[in-house]
Amino acid sequence: MDTQRQQEIERKIHQHDQALALNSSEQCLIKVWLAIAGPTRYQLDTFIRCVIPVLYLRRSHRAHVLKEPNSLANDILTGDYYSSLFYRYLITHHELNTFKVIVVRLRDYYVKNSQQTLMTDDYSDYFKILWQAEDKVSDLVTIEPILTYNDIDTYIAAVTEVMSQQFLVLTDKQNQALIRLMGSGGKKTRLKLFYHASPHLEKPSLSLVKIGAAIEGIHLASLIHDDLIDQAVLRRHTPTLHQTFNQLTALHIGNIIFTQSLSLLADIKDNKIHQLFSQLFYRMVRGELSQQTYRYSQQLSPYRYLKLVRDKTALFVEVILHTAGYLGQVEPDQLRLLKRAGFAIGMAYQLKDDMLDVTAGECKLGKPTSVDQANGYRTLPVIYQDLYSSKRATKSHADDVAATQPDVDFLNVGLKRTKQLAHRYIERALGDIRQLKNPMVRYHLIYFTTALYKRTR
């Protein structure tokens, strides 16, 4: 590749992503892909659109090798970050049929690595799939008959069946561990919210089951990676996957679940759905990266902490209610109400979780309490206490006994102010929900949101 062509390619890549500076190995790969593509003088933009997602994917895989124990959290989140860019770029610049082929190829790679095959991926294969597809982006909206369910239990059973079909593609031992994790008492809060916020109209709509399974899968994959980052021992009274197997296997199992969740979404030919979920994944990872920045830090303000909660938790609930309203074809003003209510519910839910991490027992939560403090994450009760109490924390490391086992009495002011803020978010959500026109959606969301006042698990 001559210098002029190399500079032109790098300039165009920079136009798509200013942070994507090529290293020497990536430059070599591009030479190989240029040879595969043949003359690209009049197709350079198409060539670039095929190159960029593969570069994102390669960087994700390289980060997820987990060679350095001291950089475990950073490597996992860096890999997840490039995975989010990969997904977002693919669904923006390529057809969903091509995306489905890529996802299936990617799943096979993760499955083999979860079995300790330690295979390396041929990134030229991904490039060939994209290049040969010669697809153009279109605003796809495919309406499928809705699968109607008379009650939430029947719906959850249908979603669970789809999850088993999609996620249990591992060894028998790994599948059994995953079955225990999926069936170990999770509240399925997000799934229930999605079901109750979806208007059951007579008109055809998209399948609720596949989206529900994808919602649960994305949440489950994020929990597996979170447990690995935090080196958690228990999740829902069950040993975490990295405790049962090892770190690399747990990482790839999480990747498989996420990839299979994308595969479920790829069956739904609606670009709006993918725009919502790709942005969600990207923002969730950005939130996790920001949280790591403030780990063991005393500089985290309430405002910055609430921004973390927005990206890590609240946006997920917002997207769930937004998706439900979109599928129900509600009016624009009703859609705005659902989005705002979802955001407020998500904020309140996380703040209540922060309080339970201090006040609830391990038996109730299914995991050790005060785990956030032990892992160096300052939650809102602690941040408020530092601001409004004369007693201030003086140490920030995980082995500090005071930080690891915070005194509930000492945190009384912080807990009180966190509770007040959580209740304001609940009231804000209820104010929006009461304006919804659909009576069943309004009833169920009011019931769920009101229950947050007395949440105990």
CA 292, CA 77: separation in Å to the nearest integer?
9
- As to burial, measured by CB atoms within 10 angstroms (0-12 exposed, 13-18 middle, 19+ buried), residue 187 is exposed
CA 84, CA 60: separation in Å to the nearest integer?
9
Tens digit of pLDDT for each residue in 161-190? 999 999 999 999 999 999 988 887 678 899
Contact of 320 with 338, CB cutoff 8 Å = no
CA 438, CA 326: separation in Å to the nearest integer?
14
| Closest by CA position to 350, among listed 443, 426, 239 | 426
CA 266, CA 274: separation in Å to the nearest integer?
8
- Residue 82 belongs to domain spanning: 3-133
For residues 154 and 114, membership in a common domain is answered with no
The domain boundary residue, chosen from 133, 155, 170:
133
pLDDT in the model for residue 202:
44
> What is the rounded (10 degree) CA torsion for 421, 423, 426, 428?
-60
Handedness of CA 21, 25, 29, 32 (dihedral sign): positive
Contact of 407 with 167, CB cutoff 8 Å = no
Tens digit of pLDDT for each residue in 323-372? 999 988 899 999 999 999 999 999 999 999 999 988 875 555 555 556 67
The domain boundary residue, chosen from 133, 165, 185:
133
Contact of 354 with 363, CB cutoff 8 Å = no
What CATH number is associated with residue 241? 1.10.600.10
Looking at the structure of the chain, the number of domains it has is: 3
For residues 128 and 232, membership in a common domain is answered with no
pLDDT in the model for residue 398:
41
Does any domain span residue 323? yes
Does any domain span residue 54? yes
For residues 12 and 74, membership in a common domain is answered with yes
For residues 244 and 114, membership in a common domain is answered with no
Does any domain span residue 288? no
For residues 323 and 438, membership in a common domain is answered with yes
Query: Which is higher by pLDDT, 10 or 322?
Result: 322
CA 287, CA 285: separation in Å to the nearest integer?
5
Does any domain span residue 344? yes
Would you give the end-to-end CA distance of the chain in angstroms?
60
Mean pLDDT value of segment 231-235 = 85
For residues 310 and 441, membership in a common domain is answered with yes
pLDDT in the model for residue 146:
45
Query: How many Cα atoms are found within 13 Å in the side-chain-facing hemisphere of 227?
Result: 28
Does any domain span residue 212? yes
For residues 452 and 304, membership in a common domain is answered with yes
For residues 345 and 427, membership in a common domain is answered with yes
Say what percent of the chain tops pLDDT 90: 54
Strand-pair partners of 238: 235
For residues 343 and 392, membership in a common domain is answered with yes
Does any domain span residue 280? no
For residues 126 and 182, membership in a common domain is answered with no
Does any domain span residue 17? yes
The domain boundary residue, chosen from 234, 253, 268:
268
Compute CA distances 112 → 29, 109, 148, whole Å. 24, 5, 37
Tell me the pTM: 0.87
Q: Report the amino acid identity of residue 101.
A: V
CA 170, CA 154: separation in Å to the nearest integer?
27
Tens digit of pLDDT for each residue in 91-133? 999 988 899 999 999 998 998 888 766 667 789 999 999 999 8
Query: How many Cα atoms are found within 13 Å in the side-chain-facing hemisphere of 15?
Result: 10
- As to burial, measured by CB atoms within 10 angstroms (0-12 exposed, 13-18 middle, 19+ buried), residue 44 is middle
For residues 106 and 150, membership in a common domain is answered with no
For residues 302 and 421, membership in a common domain is answered with yes
Mean pLDDT value of segment 234-243 = 84
Compute CA distances 348 → 300, 356, 448, whole Å. 19, 12, 12
Does any domain span residue 276? no
Query: Which residues touch 255 (CB under 8 Å, ≥6 apart)?
Result: 64, 83, 110, 221
